[in-house]
Amino acid sequence: METNIQTKRLYLRTDPEEIPALLALPKAIQALPDWFREPLEDFLRLRQRNWPAKTVRRSTSLLCGRLVKIGLFLIQTYSWTNWGELSVRWIDDYIDKRLRDGIAPRTINFEISFLKQFCFFLEDSGYSIPQSIFNIKQLTTPQNLPRPLPGNDVFLLEKHILDARIGDKRWERDKKAFRGLAWFYLMWHCGLRVSEVSNLQLSDVDYEKNKLLIEDSKERKDRVVYMSDTTAKAIQNYLKIFASSLSVYLFEHQGRPITTRMIQDTLTRYGNECGIEVSPHRLRHTFATQMLNAGMPITSLQRYLGHENIDTTMIYAKVSDVLLQYHYEQALQGLDEEWHPDDHIRKVRFACQDLRKITGALDELKENADGFYAALNELQKLLQQLEEDMS
């Protein structure tokens, strides 16, 4: 099945000479018998039509690799020879083997999902597929919440990159830090995916309206993203140094768009230098969490992040549920009357509690000089602590 995609809109930004290499199928597929390999090639060609050029090579390798792995296991283990023989028990054995090998349930679910998609394609193409295959249940997996950077880590990381731009002497200045700061803000202040940063073109930036055009994102949709003044300024400062070396893309390396791996490695290095565990996606998580905490409606955040399903965006609400925190703090005051969400008020309440204890002790020690002076000493320490807290 040939795929005439050269004229498709998603390839307008790709050099036509590169397209054959992008569409090349992995050599591993040749290890399969013809009855498995030929429909798999058709399936992959069909899927390639809907993948963006920037991800088609990686997506092809991933999908093909998983299906080849399953196919070879079943062929070698059960001498499998045709699609009508496919058995749920065989798939269960494959799942058990993957679990024994220490493969995460989430990864195994992806593999089984790919197999079922392939089987749906085969059925539509006239192959006889046992219906029980479509009823295979996925493994239960834990729902991991996003991990935004804790506390002030993102501000410490920002300061570290800012400091890297200026050394004690001009020739010690790290000019690449100007570039790093620009894409750092694009992920933190704008919530961009690392792949979206690497594929930004110079023409995608509108400095008059402080906005970006994100074309052909992960969900295969275009969207508009607004920039903070800080982000726009960082990009402009970066371009003052690097504009002459750029041709099409906002961030380039040797005439090609900067790779996501280069961004990840640079960010990891910055994080290691200031003791912060960070990744591009953690910056995106941090952005989403901070926006919700600041009161941004969940539906607006969904559109901003480019999520097709609002359930994906709702995960961030579980991390940044300010209302839940407020209700917890209100209820906690009912359990502990001395507790208060305001740290200053809480310290005063605890101090009053200590004062009541010391006052009671003094009242009981009127005729005991040693005990009286010991309690008085504690009272003086508490007074000194209160004065320090109030200063």
> In this predicted model, what pLDDT tens digit does every residue of 210-228 receive, in sequence order?
999 988 766 567 888 999 9
Domain boundary among 297, 318, 339: 318
**Of 296, 320, 322, 301, residue with least CA distance to 311:** 301
Say how far apart CA 342 and CA 337 lie, in whole Å.
13
31 occurs within a structural domain: yes
Domain match, 166 and 197 both: yes
* Long-range CB contacts for residues 239-248, cutoff 8 Å, separation at least 24: 241/175, 241/178, 242/178, 242/179, 246/202, 248/201, 248/202
Domain match, 352 and 246 both: no
146 occurs within a structural domain: no
Domain match, 59 and 76 both: yes
How far is residue 261 from each of residues 217, 257, 265, measured CA to CA in Å? 18, 11, 6
Domain match, 281 and 331 both: no
What pLDDT score was predicted for residue 150? 84
**Could you read off the pLDDT of 98-132 as tens digits, one per residue?**
999 999 998 999 999 999 999 999 999 999 999 99
Domain boundary among 318, 345, 366: 318
User: Which domain does 384 fall in, by range?
Assistant: 324-390
Report, as an integer, the average pLDDT of 276-296: 88
141 occurs within a structural domain: no
Q: How confident is the model at residue 331 (pLDDT cuts 50, 70, 90)?
A: low
Domain boundary among 318, 350, 375: 318
Domain match, 113 and 245 both: no
Domain match, 349 and 335 both: yes
309 occurs within a structural domain: yes
Domain match, 164 and 116 both: no
How far is residue 20 from each of residues 2, 54, 226, measured CA to CA in Å? 12, 13, 36
Q: How many structural domains comprise the chain? A: 3
289 occurs within a structural domain: yes
What pLDDT score was predicted for residue 308? 80
Residue 144 has pLDDT above 90, yes or no: no
**Could you read off the pLDDT of 357-367 as tens digits, one per residue?**
666 666 666 66
Say how far apart CA 44 and CA 64 lie, in whole Å.
7
* DSSP assignment string, 278-329: --HHHHHHHHHHHHHHTT--HHHHHHHHT-SSHHHHHHHHHH--HHHHHHHH
143 occurs within a structural domain: no
